[in-house]
Structure 1
């Protein structure tokens, strides 16, 4: 019949029309996946670039990374070598810092000793100015020489025990080492006080 034929044609036409909603959904889903993949790739590339810049900075900052290593020739330093050299350099800096702190502490002690000596000398000068004609306790030149001799004898004992004469170079090195160790202001002050105390007991 005419009605059945019309229905048949309508259903055939409807089935031949593409489903645009499904295609749009597939397109949007595919585009979302692509965007995520692209974003992940970019983030990963940024991370790798940041790591590379970090290693490049370490090679610039750490002096030992700039020195030529003949064991690897002209090859580029590996990340493991860069990290190891960085660790070694940090440990070296820690040791240098500790050494400098010890030197500063020693210098501060020397400054304190010098200040004490300065105060003592100022008191001696002041006493002399206040009593310029006082001479009843004046000592002889022999006593003055005995003080000097006592100081030198004490210094020579440490000098003789510390100095090596195996060679001139070793002698020179030992002399400087002896001066730094046994001629500090506080050490000399203790020696002088000991000599004066001993001489005073002999005189009085």
Structure 2
């Protein structure tokens, strides 16, 4: 009977302690596990956010550095291209400021524009000279062709005196128009009026009409 009185108490105590050690989890374990899980979640949430900011900051820094490198490269190329910048560096050895480089680049571009305008004017003048020479060439070719196509008969030979008279009359006629239309105020007006005179009075058709008129006059003498 004594064993029966003590056994329930012992069994109940044993079952309680056994259940407490194996069947249930202490509250401290829950709190520590939940806090550990919460800290892991916070770390997992904070790390990507900071990494994204770092990537943005790094990308911005790289873009800014590229922009500065491009500007520096542009100024270096201007200093290499513009002769006045090179001359200053060779003489003084001091580095030019960006404002000075830009101003000298502008001055050099304006100088190039002026030179280009002068070259275009010279080219236009040369074209006029070429055109005048072409007209003269065409006139001489026409005269030679006309002379070659003219039949020569022994009884109708023209003397050298007649040929010189024709030539002299043609030249006198041309000189009259030349003297009346040429301006000698300065070289520019002289050049321009000479080309205008060639285009107006030395056309093949004009010379042909003049020559025919002279030949008719001499033939009637």
Structure 1 residues 64 and 28: CA distance shift in structure 2, 3 A: same
CA distance in 2, matches of 1:84, 1:38: 35
Residue matched to 2:120: 101
CA RMSD for the aligned pairs? 4.4
Residue matched to 1:90: 109
Please, which runs of 5 or more residues in structure 1 have no aligned partner? 163-176
Please, which runs of 5 or more residues in structure 2 have no aligned partner? 1-15, 204-209
CA displacement at 1:31 relative to structure 2: 1.6
**Which residue, 10, 13, 20 being the options, matches 2:40?**
20
**Which residue, 134, 154, 169 being the options, matches 2:158?**
134
Q: Deviations over 1:59-80 (max 9, x none)?
A: 112222212179x943211222
TM-score with structure 2 setting the length = 0.58
SS where residue 80 of structure 1 aligns?
A: helix
CA displacement at 1:136 relative to structure 2: 10
CA distance in 2, matches of 1:184, 1:47: 59
Do residues 55 (structure 1) and 48 (structure 2) align?
A: no
CA distance in 1, matches of 2:49, 2:141: 93
Q: Deviations over 1:10-47 (max 9, x none)?
A: 45544663621102211221122111111110111011
CA distance in 1, matches of 2:141, 2:164: 23
Question: Which structure shows the higher helix fraction?
Answer: 2
CA displacement at 1:179 relative to structure 2: 11
Residue matched to 2:137: 118
Tell me if the contact between 1:154 and 1:191 (Cα under 8 Å) persists in the aligned partners.
Answer: no
SS where residue 77 of structure 1 aligns?
A: coil
TM-score with structure 1 setting the length = 0.63
Structure possessing the higher radius of gyration over alpha carbons: 2
Do residues 37 (structure 1) and 61 (structure 2) align?
A: no
Residue matched to 1:169: none
CA displacement at 1:48 relative to structure 2: 0.7
CA distance in 1, matches of 2:199, 2:163: 21
